[in-house]
Chain A
Amino acid sequence: MAARLDRRAVLKLGAGSAAGLVLGFHLPARLGAQEIAENGAQGNGFGPFLNAWLRISPDETVTLVIDRSEMGQGVYTSLPMLLAEELGCDWRRIRVVAAPADPIYRNLFLVHELLTKGEDIGDAADWFVRRLSRVVGQQVTGGSSSVRGAFKPLRTAGAAAREMLVTTAARRFGVAREECTVEAGEVRHAPSERKLSFGALAAEAALLEPPRRPPLKPASAWRLIGKSVPRLDLPSKIDGSAIFGIDVRLPDMLFAAIAMPPVFGGKLKRYDSTAVLKRRGVSAVVPLPDGVAVVADNTWRAQAALAELAPEWDDGGNAAVSSETIEATLRDALAGSGRTAEAAGDPAKELSGAARRVSADYELPYLAHATMEPMNATARIGADGIDIWIPTQVQEAVQKAAAEAADISTAKVRVHTTYLGGGFGRRLEADLAAQAVRLAKAVGKPVQAIWSREEDTTHDFYRPATAARLEAGLDAEGRLVAWRQTNACPSIMARVFPAATWLEVDQTAVEGATRMPYAIANRRIAHVQRDFHVPVGFWRSVGHSQNAFFKESFVDELAAAAGTDPLAFRRRLLAQAPRDLAVLELAAEKAGWGDALPPGRGRGIALHTSFGSIVAQVAEVTVSADGVSVERIVAAVDCGIVVNPDTLRAQIEGGIVFGLTAALYGRISIEKGRVAERHFDDYPMVRLGETPEIEVHVIASDQAPGGAGEPAVPPVAPAIANAIYAATGKRLRRLPVAGQPLTT
């Protein structure tokens, strides 16, 4: 079906643009039943949500307003590819600009998927979810949803513009539309050897009513989709010219360093600014609702002055909380039955009657995002409102936070999205926006608020610490007949969108534990919610990152209990899941599963589906007196139609390294109510020397596109833990690997 083209949007923008075709397209308020059915067939499960504008100027430049943030995942290239595919423009004339905050850019695909767990649901429920999606919908880059959500709407927008250009050209040529073809930014009429460029046609084409259902090319005719088109943003990222949030420079601007209460929920008690205000370049010390800032004419002067300020804090009621107390609470909570997230058959009965019963408890720590670009935002307050430059995944939330901080209407806040020096879910929070606005207001000049690495590490929204209990029953032949999993962890949704937890379990706590590809007749997945004062948030692949570790480690334990090879054990459970099975087999084959290895080496396998993509990985590790060295990771991926294969590979490679850092080193610990880790020495990252050889094998598919940014993360940790088990016989039920004895 067609994205419905919004005539008002066309006119609104068209008026401001001297000449040229400007198209707006957005989510229709309500989708017809047939439209939903058609989209269901496309696999997206929901209508066209993505919103953007394209514009063709007389100089042939095609400007595409991209409403997703570029944080390294390549959306400033893959989304234009979708549009250009149908438009038929000259790829070299594409120009990408970041969209402002606007409800028209809401990521309804993401919200819908979150609420429905990606499943098709009944009509009434679907209606309700769609209504809810519209209410809570936010302009968001996350959930590996960009390409998935844009796949049809952006192609439709390109096709609609193309049809308008062709209609205009045919009229000028005085020929039938059908005789015209589109090629490299021109409409051609071969019989009369005439042609007109898009730029020459655009102004007149813009006066036409956009077609509602323009024809889309069949996949066999695609020229861009499926090609490794070089990233449009990369030249600026090798010469230092790309502007990240921290690089924004405005006339008269000042820089702010911020200290926040070390214990979450604490308060500023007192500070003495006398000496600090005498320091060179320092213009103000500003108390904030969540801390205190020093504003100066240079970042270092602000940071150095803040260090001298040494504010005193009231720790509040949480100064006695530690990782030990949190972990003990979670462990105890495993005894509770929790809220059921998924159930089938009678697991209790089958467990007690099983020939063999296996159970194991697992634990994972809090994790920080540690984006390379520390948190920052730059605000300028003028007579006509607020401008805010920010590397963000959530433009609308930023707009709202800025408006509240300055007590003005959101309409007066203009959000300028810069490049993001990493997002990984951290930039789904709008905390910096309010700080920058408050500071700009306090000093009457533009201010760039920038956190030190230490503030960044100690004031994140962390991946929740989680304890899990898994129990399974095997029959006399070693077949898996029952499975029970209980997760005890804080709820992310209870913080960001409490209503989502009223009716049902927080999906972010159980995603990936539910909807397993393995056929297990009797099962129950449950969540016991235990919240602490440590803020929790979305960390690349969210609940999947924990649940893949629990599930895939435990499946390995069951294979061992059944005396079966881990690959063969999984294979048997996947008879009804051919796509998953194919991915598993491919990874095993490419990794040489079963080939002999030298002593001290082991191979581990893991399979996990998330964000619409299936990923299997085989890790090969060496365990020696020096510890664990990960030698090689072979990944196989089925993520449906691939828009840009090289970008997909890059995301898989990067996801593997991200997962590896977490598996080997990742741990945020709480001491006296505060985060103990501060920098890269105590919160270490994998570096070049520890990077294994990485191989990525992609299965060709014509299924709906799956996500790319997150799905490679979840299988890494279990593949490594399983490889360590294969090498040593030692089963790791906690992470990180570092610091754990690896002898049995």
Chain B
Amino acid sequence: MAKLVVNGQPQAVDVEDEMPLLWVLRDTLGLTGTKYGCGLGQCGACTVMIGKDAVRACTVTVGDVAGPVTTIEGLSPDRSHHVQQAWLALQVPQCGYCQPGFIMAAAALFQRSPKPTEAEAIEALTNICRCGTYARIRQAVRILAKA
């Protein structure tokens, strides 16, 4: 029985310790905003925050989670997080599938470094967007970094 705090809610989940956090979120807790893209830490679709860090939820087992988990559903109650607002203002998403992961990675970046340089942003945002929304993501990051 693993104990977790997800989006502020304590959760006890009866699963194997080696189950990746991704699948506990999606299939056990029903938090489907966190996406599966590769299961190997290569795409970032599953990015959540553990504590203040952006973590690819497919690469951390539920037994290893040390700290409160924030998913896209818990980032803000009303889409008011400044990253979400910037994403909306610039109409970033296309299909939208990669966006929760991207937004969580960006939210963690801005929490750690409110005025990131371009190089820092590139290093922090290595997620894949097959629809190719990068130009707008870059624009959103530039605007947020100046705000």
A-B contact count (CB 8 A): 185
Q: Are A372 and B27 in contact (CB under 8 A)?
A: no
Known pairs A298-B23, A422-B97; A372 contacts B45 (CB<8 A): yes
Task: Report B15 CB to chain A, min CB distance, Å.
Answer: 8
Say which residue of A242, A373, A650 sits within 8 Å of B136 (CB atoms): A650
Residue A299, interface by CB 8 Å: yes
Residue A338, interface by CB 8 Å: no
Q: Are A299 and B73 in contact (CB under 8 A)?
A: no
List A residues 351-386 near B (Cβ within 8 Å): 370-374
| Interface segment out of the listed A54-62, A197-205, A549-557, A681-689 | A681-689
Task: Report B60 CB to chain A, min CB distance, Å.
Answer: 13
Say which residue of B73, B97, B125, B127 sits within 8 Å of A244 (CB atoms): B97
Task: Report B50 CB to chain A, min CB distance, Å.
Answer: 17
Q: Are B91 and A691 in contact (CB under 8 A)?
A: no
Q: Are B136 and A653 in contact (CB under 8 A)?
A: yes
Task: Report B77 CB to chain A, min CB distance, Å.
Answer: 9
Chain B residue with the shortest CB-CB distance to A689: B122
Residues of A within 8 A of B (CB-CB), count? 67
Residue B126, interface by CB 8 Å: yes
Q: Are A452 and B135 in contact (CB under 8 A)?
A: no
Say which residue of A280, A299, A422 sits within 8 Å of B36 (CB atoms): A299
CA gap between A233 and B16 in the complex, in Å: 36
Say which residue of B20, B22, B38 sits within 8 Å of A679 (CB atoms): B38
Say which residue of B19, B42, B126, B130 sits within 8 Å of A688 (CB atoms): B126
Chain B residue with the shortest CB-CB distance to A71: B95
In the bound complex, residues from chain B placing their C-beta under 8 Å from that of A238 are 79, 84, 87-88, 92-93, 96, 99-100, 103
Q: Are A453 and B134 in contact (CB under 8 A)?
A: no
In the bound complex, residues from chain B placing their C-beta under 8 Å from that of A234 are 88, 91, 93, 96
CA gap between A238 and B92 in the complex, in Å: 9
Residue B40, interface by CB 8 Å: yes
In the bound complex, residues from chain A placing their C-beta under 8 Å from that of B72 are 239-240
Task: Report B9 CB to chain A, min CB distance, Å.
Answer: 15
Known pairs A240-B72, A372-B43, A694-B135; A299 contacts B26 (CB<8 A): yes
Chain A residue with the shortest CB-CB distance to B134: A691
Chain B residue with the shortest CB-CB distance to A650: B94
Q: Are A72 and B32 in contact (CB under 8 A)?
A: no
List B residues 55-89 near A (Cβ within 8 Å): 71-73, 75-76, 79, 84, 87-88
Chain B residue with the shortest CB-CB distance to A235: B79
CA gap between A661 and B98 in the complex, in Å: 17
Residue A92, interface by CB 8 Å: no
CA gap between A212 and B7 in the complex, in Å: 55
CA gap between A298 and B21 in the complex, in Å: 12
Q: Mark A59-78, 1 if CB is under 8 A from B, else 0.
A: 00000000000111110000
In the bound complex, residues from chain B placing their C-beta under 8 Å from that of A420 are 95
Interface centre among B43, B121, B135 (most CB of A within 10 A): B135
Q: Are B36 and A653 in contact (CB under 8 A)?
A: no
Task: Report B100 CB to chain A, min CB distance, Å.
Answer: 5
Q: Are A370 and B84 in contact (CB under 8 A)?
A: no
CA gap between A693 and B136 in the complex, in Å: 10
Q: Are A654 and B133 in contact (CB under 8 A)?
A: yes
Residue B116, interface by CB 8 Å: no
Say which residue of B38, B96, B130 sits within 8 Å of A233 (CB atoms): B96
* A binding-site residues for B, Cβ under 8 Å: 70-74, 230-231, 233-244, 246-247, 249, 255, 280, 297-301, 303, 370-374, 419-424, 450, 452-453, 646-647, 650-651, 653-658, 660-661, 679-681, 685-689, 691, 693-694
Shortest 5 CB-CB contacts between residues of A and residues of B: A240-B33, A657-B132, A237-B96, A421-B97, A72-B94
Known: A372-B45, A658-B131, A688-B127. 8 other contacts (CB 8 A): A240-B32, A244-B97, A299-B23, A374-B37, A421-B97, A654-B131, A654-B133, A687-B128
- 8 interchain pairs (CB within 8 A)? A230-B91, A236-B96, A237-B99, A239-B73, A240-B32, A453-B37, A650-B91, A656-B132
